[in-house]
Amino acid sequence: MNKVYYLKSCSTCIRILKELDLPENTVLQNIKTEAITEAQIDEMKDLAGSYEALFSKRATLYKQRDLKNKKLTETAYRSLILEHYTFLSRPVFILNNAIFIGNSKSNVEAVKIALNEN
């Protein structure tokens, strides 16, 4: 199953989704209205290798809470992502058991390649 975790109010996420030719069976989950579950974050971590890889250090709350000056553990990254959607680096694509995290140009190109391989 293909799945995309995104934020409907994020113009970058919306632009990327419009740019891609996602298969009809792709499930879109707006993480603001449908919170990420523990099972979902654990699945993402298994594919990504760590919770830190899923974590957005550009989030406003990251700066507000001065988290850059704290030593965060994997458990802390997981808890923060589950606590507030803004801590997930987005969008997150899960395509054929491969994960693509974030909105960098190279990541979006990798998603396009993965979609064309199907």
Whether this prediction's pTM lies above 0.85 is answered by: yes
pLDDT of residue 15: 96
Structure tokens at 14: 């919306």
**Of the candidates 43, 42, 29, the residue with the CA atom closest to the CA atom of residue 90:** 29
pLDDT of residue 118: 63
Domain boundaries, the chain: 39-89
pLDDT of residue 1: 78
Would you say 45 and 54 are in contact if contact means Cβ atoms under 8 Å apart? yes
Q: pLDDT truncated to tens, each residue of the chain (118 aa)?
A: 799 999 999 999 999 999 998 999 999 999 999 999 999 999 999 999 999 999 999 999 999 999 999 999 999 999 999 999 999 999 999 998 999 999 999 999 999 999 988 6
